[in-house]
Chains A and B, each alone.
Chain A
Amino acid sequence: MLLTVEGLATSFGRMRAVDGVSIAVPAGRTLGIVGESGCGKSVLSLSIMRLLAAPGSIIAGGITFDGQDLLAMPQRAMRRLRGRDIAMIFQEPMTSLNPVHTVGAQIIEALRAHDAAADPRATAIAALTRVRIPDAAAAMDKFPHQLSGGMRQRVMIAMAIACIPRLLIADEPTTALDVTVQAQILELLRDLQAETGMGLILITHDLGVIAEMADEVAVMYAGRIVESASAQDLFDDPQHPYTLGLLGSIPRLDLDRARLTAIEGTVPPPHAWPPGCRFAPRCPFAITACDAAPPPLRELSPGHQAACIRAPL
């Protein structure tokens, strides 16, 4: 296993933004993490990178990357690992790229930080070529504002994969993009994975992107994983009411429905999480027992777990 996260809990003061999360990512495979704002998916990825800003801290659990205990790793070694072995891309490339430096300068800087290339310029051009930027040598001298949104996201990906990381964490990488550009970027990520065998954690709220990309899926709600399955099982046999609600919320092109099956209410903030099942206040299937204690993930079929005492529904 390339990455294993066991029982991870990350707190901000008294709030546990991530509460007992376990995931595993093998090399060459894609784990999709689904959830909406405030579910803890971004805190989870920052925890893996050990990039939490104070007062965020990991209070329980373990993270193992390629046999190394990341939580015991000294800062220096962690810095070397970040960007080289584990890289990350974000939703909005314009805020992650430096507007006053050329694209080339930024990729070269990243390579130098890791002493990762004998000829950083050639390696940077190779990275831009790998993300299918036409005329990569000319693109090196461009500033971020001179590129389209799709091209900027490619540059971000080029920076992230310049050192050929073994794990790429992509946090809503296509959410800000138009659908035709999104399709290009998804295809690119899949091709890069096939070329380099990297593991991919794809964080998104879009179940369409999950169905297209993920091998395994973890659905997160209010800091916890509420369902975990292969992508095929998750869509064929959705078990958790929250997963069902998400499926019902998407307007589908294959159906004509008078109403969408929406989930009532909103995601509660961490300080207002109920003591029992955190989805219970919004769940149409909730019974009194749901409020007693947080339901553990239970295996309902091989490799398919859900944290719901009422499952199978």
Chain B
Amino acid sequence: MILQAENLSKHYGALRAVEGVSLHVARGETLALVGESGCGKSTTARLLLRLIAPSAGTIRFDGQDITNLPAGRLRDIRRRTGVVFQDPYASLNPRLRVGDAILEPMQVHRLGTAAEQRARMQSLLGLVGLMPSHAERFPHEFSGGQRQRIGIARALAAGPELLVCDEPVSALDVSIQAQVVNLLKDLQSRLGLATLFIAHDLGVVKHMADRVAVMYLGRIVELADKRSLFANPRHPYTRALLAAIPHPDPALRGRLRPLGGDIPSPANLPPGCRFQTRCAHATDICRRHDPPLQDGVACHHHAELPPMDMAYAGALSETATRRLARFAEAAAERRA
């Protein structure tokens, strides 16, 4: 187990940003944290990275309790963790040449000689699909997708065992997003990295993750193997998320099921289950007791819910599938 959190909470006064979150990331696996704005997924990531201090709970990195480790002793953990941010432009120093930005983590952690660091920097550029000559350029000379490649190279520079990706593709155009998703997936399998993948796009999550944790108002409401989560979503909120995605299939038109109401404020939580104010299945018990995450789902009624209509995802037409296969083939030939 590379990363493990137990009962992690973060309160800012009355505001309960994260409450009782338990999760783990095993070596080589990808755990996705999904949810909408304000669900606490980014706060959870910052807690796990020890960028902010938890109000309660414990965090273990590779078995070692790091919950209260003083900043000075976090160095080793920082070296073993790479972070990819949503906006690579904001996370890259505009006055630092790309090569220097990638060298920096190696220099900070004194990894190898200067010559070895330069060689590794060059090979990282190649690994993320950039050219050796790009090392001499500045971040503003690159497109959004290329900048994210630079951000990934920098995150990998110190040879991390865990990669934390916070919405790494959500600021990118669709075609560029696909390139970066493919790159991340290749890197994962090539380097055997454990990944915590934070995202709001369930399509991207389904593509990237092994397991998925769905968060709502600071709590994990469902945590399951990817396959079972998408084949049989159990929490009403997970189902609502899935039913709200418009799919690229006009045959499904008019089948969107918008979730009613607004998300309550985390500073003024409803009593009982946090989802009860918007849940079609809520009863008395839901308004009195906050259900714990048990057997992967935090819902009083999950066992009684009818199965979800799984035709929600739509399908690609035969013609489109055939042409797309030809497109992929031709693209592969061109690469080779």
Contact B324 A178, beta carbon cutoff 8 Å: no
CA distance A180 to B243 in the complex (A): 8
- Per the CB 8 Å criterion, the residue count for chain B at the interface is 61
Expressed in whole angstroms, the Cα–Cα distance for A114 and B12 within the complex equals 47
Question: Interface centre among B174, B177, B253, by most A CB within 10 Å?
Answer: B174
Q: Which residues of A contact B258 (CB under 8 A)?
A: 180, 183-184, 186-187
CA distance A205 to B201 in the complex (A): 14
Contact B317 A249 (CB under 8 A): no
Least Cβ–Cβ distance between A251 and chain B, in angstroms: 4
Shortest beta-carbon distance, B267 to chain A, in Å? 14
Residue of B nearest to A311 (CB): B323
The verdict on B240 contacting chain A, using a C-beta distance below 8 Å, is: yes
A296 within 8 A of B: no
Docked Cα-Cα span, A180 to B330, in Å, equals: 37
Would you call A211 and B207 a contact (CB within 8 A)? no
* Interface check A271, CB cutoff 8 A: no
Alpha-carbon separation in the docked complex, A244 to B316 (Å): 11
Are B256 and A186 touching (Cβ within 8 A)? yes
In the assembled complex, which residues on chain A have CB atoms less than 8 Å from the CB atom of B175?
A: 36, 245-246, 249, 262-263
Q: Does B247 contact A (CB under 8 A)?
A: yes
Which of chain B's residues have a CB closer than 8 A to the CB of A183? 243-246, 256-259
In the complex, the answer to whether B328 meets A261 with C-beta atoms within 8 Å is yes
- Given A211-B249, A264-B331: A253 touches B174 (CB 8 Å cut-off): no
Q: How many A-B residue pairs have CB under 8 A?
A: 183
Cβ of A209 within 8 Å of any chain B Cβ, yes or no, is yes
User: Are A251 and B262 in touch, CB under 8 angstroms?
Assistant: no
Q: How far is the CB of A240 from chain B (nearest CB, A)?
A: 10
Which chain A residue lies CB-closest to B247? A208
Residues from 5 to 46 in A contacting B, C-beta threshold 8 Å:
36-37
A252 engages B174 (CB within 8 Å): no
- Closest residue of A by beta carbon distance from B226: A256
Chain B 222-241 residues near chain A, CB threshold 8 A: 230, 240-241
Contacts of A236 in B (CB 8 A): 317, 319-320
Alpha-carbon distance A236/B331, docked complex (angstroms): 22
Q: When each residue 158-187 of chain A gets 1 if its CB lies under 8 Å from chain B and 0 otherwise, what string results?
A: 000000000000000000001111111011
Nearest CB on A from B181, distance (A): 6
A262-B316 Cα distance, complex, nearest whole Å: 16
Determine if A206 is an interface residue (Cβ-Cβ < 8 Å).
yes
Q: Do A284 and B316 touch across chains, with their CB atoms under 8 A apart? A: no
Residue B2, interface by CB 8 Å? no
With beta carbons under 8 angstroms apart, the residue of A184, A210, A252, A258 that contacts B313 is: A252
A72 at the binding interface (Cβ < 8 Å) = no
Flag if A252 contacts B203 (CB, 8 Å): yes
Q: Interface size class for chain A?
A: 35 or more
A258 partner residues in chain B, CB cutoff 8 A: 185
Residues in chain A near residue B254, CB distance under 8 A: 212
Does B36 interact with chain A (Cβ within 8 Å)? Answer: yes
B208 to chain A, nearest CB (A): 8
Q: Assess whether A149 is interfacial by the CB under 8 Å rule.
A: yes
Q: Are B262 and A148 in contact (CB under 8 A)?
A: yes
Closest beta carbon of chain B to A116's beta carbon, Å = 30
**B-side contacts of A238, CB under 8 Å:** 319-320, 323
* CB of A145, distance to nearest CB on chain B (Å): 14
Task: Quote the shortest CB–CB distance from A135 to chain B (angstroms).
Answer: 13
- CB of B244 within 8 A of CB of A180, answer yes
- Least CB distance, B197 to chain A, in whole angstroms: 12
Of B247, B262, B327, B335, which is within 8 A of A248 by CB? B327
Q: If A260-B182, A262-B175 touch, does A179 touch B207 (CB 8 Å cutoff)? A: no
Interface of chain B residues 136 through 186 with chain A (CB within 8 A): 143, 145-146, 173-179, 181-182, 185
Assess the B200–A253 pair: CB atoms within 8 A: no
Which residue of chain A has the shortest Cβ distance to B311 in the bound complex? Answer: A254
A30 to B249, CA, bound (A): 16
Residues from chain B with a CB closer than 8 A to the CB of A257 are 207
**In the complex, given contacts A250-B174, A261-B328, what are 12 additional A-B residue pairs having Cβ atoms less than 8 angstroms apart?**
A179-B36, A179-B245, A180-B258, A186-B258, A211-B248, A235-B248, A248-B324, A252-B247, A253-B206, A260-B207, A284-B333, A285-B327
25 CB-based A-B contacts, threshold 8 Å: A36-B176, A178-B200, A180-B36, A183-B244, A206-B174, A207-B174, A208-B246, A210-B248, A213-B246, A231-B250, A235-B250, A236-B317, A238-B319, A244-B327, A248-B327, A251-B178, A252-B247, A253-B230, A253-B313, A254-B313, A260-B207, A261-B327, A266-B176, A285-B327, A313-B323
